[in-house]
Amino acid sequence: MAKNKTSGSAEFDKLRNRMAADRALRNEVRDSLFAMTEQINVSDRGSRFVAGGTVEWIVASACYAAEVIAIPEGHNANGFDLTGVNATVKGLFSVKSSLSPTSAFRITNGINGAGKGFVEPTIFLHKRLGGLVFADPAIHTELAGRAEQKADAVVLSLKAIIEHAQQRPECVIDLEIPYNQGRGTYDPALSFAKALITDGNYPNLKRLFEEVKPQTSTISEEIGKLKQLRDDGVLNQVQFERAVDRLLKG
């Protein structure tokens, strides 16, 4: 850990040092990422956008907990809300995450083009990076030069970012990052559509959601899933036993 060196971003340095010193915060970020991969399967294209947005909010929450960002005084009167917090974080750095073992990072997408490219300070998350990796194209010009312009996107290879992280440990927040587990069943479109229709005045449309019930698992199947989470390290033994107790008590 290059605690006394700067990454080029005072805010990232503060987040890095705080997470290195605060085990609870570090564990919460790790556990929330693992929990997300158990609920969302990013192999589904629609869910992939939800996962990316969720990672952004996890990073924003960590920045707030680490006092990298703060809500201005009188924020309620001024209308500064969660949207303002997220905008503040985006003003510091973009967040790019990948839960696939080998995929490159798509920096920008464009319509009839590749988009603006690698022009913003960015935090990258991937298991093979060993944590959160910061890069500013204005400072880390060697990495910026390895961005490739495709017909419809600008991409940066995982190998290039790994080498950047190895050469500049001050740009790394050590953290275990999960791969996509492929077990998540959360469907964001279904959840929104169900809430929209069942909460509204649509008696004919809501019949689908009232009459067709989701398939349920047996208790033994649910315990089997909990065992898998424990074996994968998502749950510790105490959390596993509590979850089983809640399941058996209904």
Does residue 56 lie within any of the structural domains? Answer: yes
| 58, 135: one domain | yes
Q: Which of 120, 206, 130 is nearest to 165 (CA)?
A: 130
Q: Which of 136, 134, 131, 104 is nearest to 118 (CA)?
A: 136
| 101, 30: one domain | yes
Does residue 225 lie within any of the structural domains? Answer: yes
Does residue 66 lie within any of the structural domains? Answer: yes
| 211, 164: one domain | no
What pLDDT, on the 0 to 100 scale, is given for residue 75? Answer: 46
Residue at a domain's end among 174, 208, 226: 174
| 146, 214: one domain | no
| 146, 201: one domain | no
Does residue 180 lie within any of the structural domains? Answer: no
Residue at a domain's end among 174, 207, 222: 174
Q: What is the pLDDT of residues 128-160, one digit of tens each?
A: 999 999 999 999 999 999 999 888 888 999 999
| 201, 157: one domain | no
Average pLDDT, the chain: 85
Does residue 201 lie within any of the structural domains? Answer: yes
| 15, 78: one domain | yes
* Domains held by the chain: number: 2
Q: How many CA atoms lie within 13 A of 236 on its CB side?
A: 3
Q: What is the pLDDT of residues 171-227, one digit of tens each?
A: 999 999 998 877 788 888 888 898 999 999 999 999 998 887 665 566 777 788 888
Helix axes 45-65, 82-92, angle to 10 degrees: 90
* Amino acid type, 140: H
Burial 167-185 (b: 16+ CB within 10 A, else e): ebbbbbbebebbebbeebe
What pLDDT, on the 0 to 100 scale, is given for residue 20? Answer: 96
Q: What integer is the mean pLDDT of 43-59?
A: 87
Does residue 20 lie within any of the structural domains? Answer: yes
Spatial separation of the C-alpha atoms in residues 1 and 22, rounded to whole Å? 14
Q: Is the pLDDT of residue 2 over 70?
A: no
| 49, 136: one domain | yes
| 117, 238: one domain | no
Q: What is the pLDDT of residues 68-119, one digit of tens each?
A: 987 665 544 444 567 777 778 888 999 999 988 877 898 877 655 556 788 9
How many helices (H) and strands (E) in the chain?
A: 11, 7
| 124, 222: one domain | no
What pLDDT, on the 0 to 100 scale, is given for residue 125? Answer: 96
What pLDDT, on the 0 to 100 scale, is given for residue 95? Answer: 93
Q: Which of 105, 101, 99 is nearest to 118 (CA)?
A: 105
| 117, 212: one domain | no
Domain that holds residue 201: 188-249
Q: Is the pLDDT of residue 25 over 80?
A: yes
| 24, 56: one domain | yes
Does residue 182 lie within any of the structural domains? Answer: no
Does residue 183 lie within any of the structural domains? Answer: no
